Amino acid sequence: MSQNIENIKPCYPLFEQDEYQSLFAGKKSRFEEAHGDSKVKEVFDWTTSAEYQELNFKREALTINPAKACQPLGAVLCSLGFEKTLPYVHGSQGCVAYFRTYFNRHFKEPVACVSDSMTEDAAVFGGHANMNDGLQNAYALYKPEMIAVSTTCMAEVIGDDLQAFTNNAKKDNFIPTEVPVPYAHTPSFVGSHVTGWDNMFEGFCRSLAPEAKEVGSNGKLNLVTGFDTYLGNYRVLKRMMAEMGVSASLLSDPSEVLDTPADGQYRMYAGGTTQAEMVDAPNAIDTLLLQPWQLVKTKKVVTETWGQPGSALNVPIGLEATDEFLMKVSELTGKPIPESLATERGRLVDMITDSHTWLHGKKFALYGDPDYVMGLTKFLLELGAEPTVILCHNGSKKWEKALKKVLDASPYGQNSEIYVGCDLWHLRSLMFTNKPDFLIGNSYGKFIQRDTLAKGKAFEVPLIRLGFPIFDRHHLHRMTTWGYEGGMYIVTTLVNAVLERLDQETMELGKTDYNFDLVR
């Protein structure tokens, strides 16, 4: 082969060489028994038809590429948001390898998470011994101040009792009694990653703040984000509170541990919500739930245990939702909204005005988690765009009804279709039969984008990467999608995707380049 140290080729040009092409052709002819190109095209074309879509939507016992992840993934993210806390998964090693690599690929950052490596014997006899040894080793090796325990399918199927296991581990001196061990049962076969985040946060509340105190006595607000992987969102919340002069605790803040600098020092634990902040949380004026559709158990703790209002707000994506958030903060604290934030709002309005001619009437399909999809849909309507296909695998019927109400109230939502409990293979069918101008979603949408490729032209339904996970582009996890700042990023992303598509469609010399303009 022609690969050598003086001329290193990456995967794509390397495998284009004659030697590899010959190997591929031989493998295909001798071993694959593949159909010919004409038959492949025939079947592909059929899968883009309305006839196939009808069959596709009749599926009952099969999910193909679900637009969600499993509960323990969310529990790990929640745990990473607490100071000097080690996420610990009671289950098999393979599960934890999945969680770590999933976050590694998104954040491009090492992720600390351990497992007690349950195998066949633990599946038969229970994982009590694994828990004892695992907690002892994790504490000795990694010196955490808290260990947050969640579960995988294996532990849940056999019915392991985390409360009994963690209590016994302390009683038998496998771990010091003073080390908090919040825990949550997070079976992967129900719910999704957002459910796991909510369950784990409830575990932190039970462990560190299990009872009501004096509501409002500390003069602070608590902010609970739920599952969110845009690190800029945590930072923009803290910045807005600082500009308003509001004392606030961001409960579960992973923005530092997932974005540590490359300065020669490894930080296994960086930043995060302190134990003291969680202990003091019941004394706050209120706890604002910023993704309320996923924070069901959290709301119950806040309202029933802590005795706070537990104000549920729309996720602060876009103009109106950010206005509502800041006005609620001002109402609760008596602090005025400062001129700096009013100016920032005006800049967002200016950007919307500058770009509205390009976004008005454009048709978008989008998918993701319930609160994110709700917030982004509202913002698209504010921009005059039309969210024609909206898919949420982990949404509920109640959520669907609430979103339908939002769509019905806008002239740009009249032709929208909502799909709850559907997967990305359902969405693929819709991209051919109900073809929007653009698709908004995570990296998994690139395979749908590829399938909509028109020969010799641009993608018919280009993918705009917003959401989680983003594996195939770098540094988007550092961006901000919340607040006025986040609105600016979303507007910039959307309008430049529209303009990029227009350039691709109008660059053919002497045919379409009459509209290949320098000024847009």
Q: What pLDDT digit, counting tens, does each position of 73-115 carry?
A: 999 999 999 999 999 999 999 999 999 999 999 999 999 999 9
- Cβ(135)–Cβ(88) below 8 Å: yes
When pLDDT is averaged across residues 458-486 and rounded to a whole number, the result is 95
For residues 364 and 401, what is the distance between their CA atoms, to the nearest angstrom? 20
411-432 mean pLDDT: 97
The percentage of residues in the chain with a pLDDT greater than 90, rounded to a whole number, is 89
Share of the chain above pLDDT 70, in %: 98
- Fill in the DSSP letter of residue 417: E
Give the C-alpha separation, 468 to 471, whole Å.
Answer: 9
What pLDDT was estimated at residue 455? Answer: 58
Q: CA nearest 147: which of 107, 173, 113, 124?
A: 113
Whole-number pLDDT of residue 7: 81
If pLDDT is split at 50, 70 and 90, which confidence band does 457 have?
Answer: low
Q: What's the pLDDT score for residue 509?
A: 92
- Which tokens in the block code for residue 12? 């794509």
H or E element in which residue 439 lies: strand 438-441
Cis peptide before 469 (omega within 30 of 0): yes
* Mean pLDDT confidence for 504-520: 91
Segments of 82-217 assigned E as strands:
85-90, 114-115, 146-151
Q: What integer pLDDT is reported at residue 352 of this predicted model?
A: 98
In the prediction, which pLDDT does 33 show?
A: 87
* pLDDT single digits (tens) 157-168: 999 999 999 999
Q: pLDDT higher for 91 or 457? A: 91
Q: What whole-number distance in Å separates Cα of residue 392 and Cα of residue 399?
A: 10
What is the rounded CA–CA span in Å between residue 123 and residue 102?
25
Beta partners for residue 365, in sequence order: 389, 439
Average pLDDT over all residues of the chain: 95
Compute CA 187 distance to the chain's CA centroid, rounded to the nearest angstrom.
19
- Chain segment 60-77, per-residue pLDDT in tens: 989 999 999 999 999 999
Averaged pLDDT, 355-367: 97
Strand-pairing partners, residue 419, are 391
DSSP state of 336: P
Quickly count: other Cβ atoms within 10 Å of residue 351's Cβ: 17
Which residues are known catalytic residues? 153, 157
* Residue whose structure tokens are 């038969």: 124
Q: What is the mean pLDDT of residues 497-507?
A: 94
pLDDT in tens, 244-299: 999 999 999 999 999 999 999 989 999 999 999 999 999 999 999 999 999 999 99
The answer to whether residue 1 scores a pLDDT higher than 60 is no
Average pLDDT over residues 462-478: 97
User: How remote is the C-alpha of 269 from its chain's centroid?
Assistant: 22
Among residues 458, 422, 400, which one has the least CA distance to residue 53?
422
Structure-block tokens of residue 409: 């109230």
**Dist. CA 443–CA 367, nearest whole Å:** 11
Q: How confident is the model at residue 2 (pLDDT cuts 50, 70, 90)?
A: low
pLDDT in tens, 276-287: 999 999 999 999
How confident is the model at residue 6, as a pLDDT?
80
89 membership: H or E segment, kind and range: strand 85-90
pLDDT reported for residue 456 = 57
H or E segment and range at residue 405: helix 397-408
pLDDT confidence tier of residue 121, bands split at 50, 70 and 90: confident
Query: Confidence class of residue 9 from pLDDT cuts 50, 70 and 90?
Result: confident
Q: What pLDDT score was predicted for residue 458?
A: 64
